[in-house]
Structure 1
Amino acid sequence: MQKRSVILAYILWLFLGQLGIHRFYTGRTGSGIIQLILGAAGWATTGILIGWFPLFVLWIWLVIDIFLIPGMCRNPK
């Protein structure tokens, strides 16, 4: 398997993190889909206030991903 660029993963996290693109890049397709769903559903339902809960969960997860990205790049799936 090919090693991924940590810098590119952080750039994807910064600009497209709420869509889970950095997870797709590192081969974590399943969790990338979950992040994509959380972000899309959260932003789609913020008008009725329900969306803030999935967005809060996603934002906590994205903060944790800051520390996980180097390992995900070293060991892509």
Structure 2
Amino acid sequence: MAELTTGELMLIEQRVTNASKSAGVAYLLWIFTWPVSGHRFYLGRPGTAILQILSYFVLIGFVWLLIDGFLISGMIRDGQNRERTRLMDYLRAEKDEKAVAAA
């Protein structure tokens, strides 16, 4: 597996930063769109957003909503890590293809 150069790693970090969701927007959505779990849709978690909406009917959803206030930063970090891994895998695969083609 090809190792990435410092320049490639910097490019990945720049792309991850550009693609990252805003914590401020996520918290505003959490505050103002809580009935429709807007923050979870924004953070790319539509499945749990729908589950959260449905759980409001049995009151557990309100507890879940409060806990989400503490989880938002972790959800953003998870999204950044997934994007970082995706980009690194893509660049490594691209370098491996070039190495095989050159051989």
TM-score, normalised with respect to structure 2: 0.55
Tell me the percent identity. Answer: 40
Render the CA deviation track for 1:27-77: whole Å, top value 9, x for unaligned.
1111011122334xx3xxxxxxxxxxx2x2111001110110001112226
Structure 1 position 9 matched with structure 2 position 12: no
Aligned positions of 1:22-37 closer than 5 A: 22-37=39-54
- Cα root mean square deviation, aligned: 1.6
The amino acid that maps onto 1:5 is S
- Between Structure 1 and Structure 2, the one with more helix by share is 2
Name stretches of at least 5 consecutive residues in structure 2 with no aligned partner.
Answer: 1-15, 83-103
Paired residues, number: 63
Larger Rg: 2
Moved over 3 A (4+): none
Match of 1:64 in 2: 67
5+ residue gaps, structure 1, are 43-53
TM-score scaled by length of structure 1 = 0.71
SS in structure 1 of the partner of residue 33 of structure 2: helix
